[in-house]
Amino acid sequence: MPVTFADVEAAAVRIAPYVHHTPVFTSAALDEWLGATTFLKGEHLQRGGAFKYRGATNAVQSLTEEEARRGVAAHSSGNHAGALARAARARGIPAYVVMPDSVRAVKKAAVLAYGASITSCENTPASREATLRDVVAKTGAVEIHPYDNDRVIAGAGTAALELLQSVPDLDVVIAPVGGGGLLSGTAIAAHGVRPDVTVVGGEPALADDAAQSLGLGTIQPARPPTTSADGLLTALAPRTFAVLREHVAEIVTVEETEILDAMQLVWQFTKQVIEASAAVAVAAVRKRGFDGARVGVIASGGNVDLDPMFAVLR
């Protein structure tokens, strides 16, 4: 494995001055609906509104001085873009972000607020990668991939490390999966603390390439971007695929109605605003049915565009 539990522990120390130690939420009403005793790790309250700040900070703070002077660059649908921009600002270096035209306005606004430069592209993996290559060639910046990066994976794993330090007797830990950075880091951290804990992924049925990849034994391409969980639209990388094959028991796929039901009920029962990508993991708990088990859920982010909702209310 390219990333070890020791890497996650080192990342926790490295990023401690910069990130929030996020709270863990419980709700009896939510437990009843899910059929399990659940503990939500509130990464929606992380700086930048998502777990991504952990990995971005670990990667940026690991750069040498020479690398840091060149700045950093990445392509992202939103949360990694904002996290990298904020992490770069904390170190006082430039950030260059490639974002698809279709990204929600709230996520673009956050990136600009942190001082990064945005270059737009079409919403396809090929366009993202080609545009990023051009940006890196022009700027000389160091690419910080959203998930295909050892430091990013190790940083992401610190959320699960904190969760298991707060609630050590979990039976299951579940996280959403897109490119696999969060689920990889979660699995490495969880099994580093508790080798016997079951690690599960949650994935939209309309973007089920990770489940297909594990089932077929080879990495499958990302499906067309049709799910409401827009943070989970990317395919696995060889690095994350290897970790998931070793550590993840299963990936539960959920339909769009199940995602939105979970999102609504988390808002209602816990009064916490999580985004659809985070709700995927919650929906997977209900879909899978863990029969009263103690389940830790990584609530990965809370960057929700509330303008449409308030437009209706007004």
Q: How far, in whole angstroms, is CA 40 from its chain's centroid?
A: 14
Domains in the chain, number: 2
- 143-192 confidence digits (pLDDT tens): 999 999 999 999 999 999 999 999 999 999 999 999 999 999 999 999 99
Residue 137 has a pLDDT of 97
Token readout for 215 is 């089932």
293 in the same domain as 175: yes
Q: Is residue 227 part of a domain?
A: yes
* Domain-located, residue 208: yes
Give the pLDDT score at 158.
98
- Strand boundaries in 43-106, DSSP class E: 72-75, 95-100
Say if residue 208 is in the same domain as residue 302: yes
pLDDT > 70: percent of the chain: 100
- Are residues 58 and 118 both part of a single domain? yes
Residues 154 and 139 in one domain: no
Report residue 83's pLDDT band, with 50, 70 and 90 as the boundaries: very high
Query: Is 68 within the bounds of a domain?
Result: yes
Type and span of the H or E element at 208: none
- Out of 94, 117, 143, a domain closes at 143
Q: Is 277 in contact with 176 (CB distance < 8 Å)?
A: yes
pLDDT higher than threshold 80 for residue 107: no
CATH number of the domain that residue 103 is part of: 3.40.50.1100
Q: What is the pLDDT of residue 1?
A: 56
Encode pLDDT of 22-44 as tens digits.
999 999 999 999 999 999 999 99
Q: Mean pLDDT, to the nearest integer, of 294-302? A: 97
Using one digit for the tens of pLDDT, what is the confidence trace for 180-219?
A: 999 999 999 999 999 999 999 999 999 999 999 999 999 9
Provide the mean pLDDT of the chain.
95
| Residue 126: C-alpha distances to residues 201, 221, 234, 257 (Å) | 26, 11, 12, 30
Q: Beta 198-204 vs 172-176: how paired, if at all?
A: parallel
Asked whether residue 217 falls in the same domain as residue 252, the answer is: yes
Whether residues 45 and 105 fall in one domain: no
- Calculate the alpha carbon distances from 89 to 37, 41, 74 in Å: 39, 26, 15
pLDDT value of position 305: 81
Name the residue type at position 56.
A
Shared domain for 84 and 230, answered yes or no, is no
Domain extent for 64: 53-143
Residue 77 has pLDDT above 80, yes or no: no
Q: What pLDDT is stored for residue 278 in this prediction?
A: 97
Residue 314 lies in a domain: no
Q: Does 121 lie in the same domain as 75?
A: yes
Q: Which one of 82, 116, 143 terminates a domain?
A: 143
State pLDDT tens for residues 252-292.
999 999 999 999 999 999 999 999 999 999 999 999 999 99
Within this chain, do residues 175 and 87 fall inside the same structural domain, yes or no?
A: no
